[in-house]
Amino acid sequence: MQIKALACELPSLSGLPLSRFSHAEIAQEAVRRGIAASISGATVWRWLTRDAIRPWHYRSWIFPRDPDFEAKAGRVLDLYHGRWAGRPLGSREYVLCADEKTSIQARIRRHPTTPPAPRHSMRVEHEYERGGAFAYLAALDVHRAKLFGRCEPHADIKAFDRLLADIMSTPPYRSARRVFLVVDNGSSHRGPTSVARIQSQWPRVKLVHLPIHASWLNQIEIYFSIVQRKVLTPNDSESLDELRERILKFQIRYEELAKPFEWRFSREDLSALLHKLLVHDLLKSA
């Protein structure tokens, strides 16, 4: 129990010049503190694994800062579960998420990538020439797994409006009663000005903004993470045009096989999470 308690401490609290513990360093600190006369890092690792304690892992996160976080996030979660303002969505109402993946670079390697072979992984030349960059704008229908995407020189208002024009000129969105478009607070679709601009062009489009720092609630980010893993890692291109073509071909390939994401996080889950963060803040300030 003392070893597990030690693993759940930050090293800085003990005056150690470490950002995080490894299992070997926990063993060393346990001996230094007199918790055990001797202990191996392997034993520490085995004990911690039982309780899924892994102090050598970490992830970044941010506390909600938007004062209306729960209200804004809640209506997006309702849309994902097929409801708006307490009522089920109709058959001619659609929910899409949209965003931009910016600064996608074409990295032209100085030597060709070699394929995998027995006892050898794929090898990618470290040095590359910059072949330019572009932004990938995409939108996902969360209930139908329908994708729209464009590769644009810049992620600006005009580029976003072209993406929206692609959506609204395509059935069934062209004749929809309402199209809910979930977006973050990026410069191309920020605030009341963007709502007025878009409704003046497409009155049936309702822009729904996420709270600040809540991209994790935007389902298009899941698709972008798949693009990053499947298309852009490792980043090796023949040219900027070849990279554009690859991304758009992947979009077609993905859409042919895709199913809607099984989104389970609900308003109730959100309330529980925010309550947990509130308790954390209160304990920290006590």
CATH number reported for the structural domain that contains residue 138 in this entry:
3.30.420.10
Confidence bin at 280 (pLDDT 50/70/90): confident
Q: What sign for the dihedral angle of Cα 162, 166, 168, 173?
A: negative
Radius of gyration of the chain (CA): 24
Is the pLDDT assigned to residue 61 strictly greater than 90? no
Residues 141, 252, single domain; the answer is yes
Residues 80, 41, single domain; the answer is no
150: which 2 tokens? 């464009």
Residues 80, 152, single domain; the answer is yes
Residues 86, 197, single domain; the answer is yes
| Domain hosting residue 233, numbered range | 69-257
Residues 152, 32, single domain; the answer is no
In 3D, which of 197, 209, 166, 207 has the Cα closest to residue 66?
A: 209
Q: Which amino acid is at 36?
A: A
Residues 96, 132, single domain; the answer is yes
Q: Give a yes or no: residue 106 inside a domain.
A: yes
Looking at every residue in the chain, the average pLDDT score rounds to 94
Q: Are 56 and 24 in contact (CB under 8 A)?
A: no
- Counting residues of the chain whose pLDDT is more than 90, the rounded percentage is 90
In this prediction, residues 147-159 reach a mean pLDDT of 96
**73-96 b/e (C-beta count within 10 Å ≥ 16 → b):** bbbbbbbbbeebeeeebeeebbbb
CA distance 166 to 244: 18
Q: Are 19 and 9 in contact (CB under 8 A)?
A: no
Is the pLDDT assigned to residue 281 strictly greater than 80? no
Q: Give a yes or no: residue 284 inside a domain.
A: no
Residues 91, 187, single domain; the answer is yes
Tens digit of each residue's pLDDT (9 = 90 or more) over 78-96: 999 999 999 999 999 999 9
Residues 6, 94, single domain; the answer is no
Q: Give a yes or no: residue 22 inside a domain.
A: yes
pTM of the model: 0.87
Residues 181, 141, single domain; the answer is yes
Q: Give a yes or no: residue 262 inside a domain.
A: no
Residues 43, 73, single domain; the answer is no
Tens digit of each residue's pLDDT (9 = 90 or more) over 198-211: 999 999 999 999 99
Give the H/E segment covering residue 220: helix 220-230
pLDDT at 286: 64
Q: Give a yes or no: residue 56 inside a domain.
A: no
Q: Are 274 and 71 in contact (CB under 8 A)?
A: no
Residues 19, 136, single domain; the answer is no
62 contact partners, CB below 8 Å, separation of at least 6: 213
- Indicate the number of domains in the chain: 2
pLDDT at 112: 92
Q: Give a yes or no: residue 18 inside a domain.
A: yes
Q: Give a yes or no: residue 273 inside a domain.
A: no
Q: Give a yes or no: residue 272 inside a domain.
A: no
pLDDT at 56: 94
Q: Are 188 and 155 in contact (CB under 8 A)?
A: yes
Residues 106, 41, single domain; the answer is no
